[in-house]
Amino acid sequence: EAIGGRELMNWEMFYLTCFLVGVTLSVLAFVGGTIHLPHVHFNLSHGHVATPGVGGHAGVSRGPEMPWFNFATITAFLAWFGGTGYLLTRHSSLLVTVVIILAIVAGLTGATLVFWFIVKFLLTHDQALDPADYDRVGVLGRVSSAIRMGGTGEIIFSQEGTRQTCGARSENGEAIAHGAEVIVTRYEHGIAYVRRWEEMANDRQDSHTNEAR
Query: What pLDDT sits at residue 127?
Result: 52
Least confident of 53-67, 108-122, 195-209: 53-67
Mean pLDDT of the chain: 76
Cα angle 30, 35, 38; round to 5: 100
Identify the helix (H) or strand (E) that includes residue 193. Answer: strand 191-196
0.85 surpassed by pTM: no
Contact 139, 86 (CB under 8 A): no
Per-domain residue ranges of the chain: 5-131, 136-212
Is the domain 136-212 a CATH 2.40.50.140 member? yes
7 vs 131: CA distance, rounded Å: 60
128 CB-near residues (< 8 Å, 6+ apart) = 50, 60, 61, 62, 63
Q: Tens digits of per-residue pLDDT, 156-209?
A: 988 767 788 889 999 888 899 998 999 998 888 889 999 998 887 666 665 555
143 vs 3: CA distance, rounded Å: 78
